[in-house]
Structure 1
Amino acid sequence: MFDLMQAAVKPLINNTVTPLTLNWKLLDVAYELYLEAPQDSYPLISLKELSRKTGASMLECRNAIVEANRLGKFPNCSLES
């Protein structure tokens, strides 16, 4: 019984808590870069530029964008280091 309840509740918690843990300041700057990029099939976001503008490491920038992508943000984008 507990396993069934845990299986039902875990996705709900993940979908509710994950968006709250994202770095929204970083994602706002990333979104600006996303919109400035040529809108080819895969707009390019420079992790180096994002890191410079936000003060976050390139790894933090990459992880934030990848996590946001899992939630439907930054569709079809490419990352450049």
Structure 2
Amino acid sequence: MAEMFRNVLMGLGCLGLLWLGSCAMLGAGTAVAVSSASKEAGKWYEKEELKYHNEQDNKAAAYHEHSDYNADYYENYED
């Protein structure tokens, strides 16, 4: 009877270790998934930010005032 009781307690202890191991593996898997997702999100954000700044710079470079056209005309087309 004592042998059987000891085996039952040993089995419960092993189940506890299995439960603890599965929780650790689940936590490690979650950490890896979150890490890779954050890296992808960071790359996407950097790409979008660069695209936004390029668009702003292109708009600023394409904007000319009337005095810019006059200066260009008198610089390049004077007799």
Provide TM-score, normalisation by structure 1.
0.29
Bigger proportion of residues as helix: 2
Bigger proportion of residues as strand: 1
Please tell me whether Structure 1 or Structure 2 has the larger radius of gyration of its CA atoms. 2
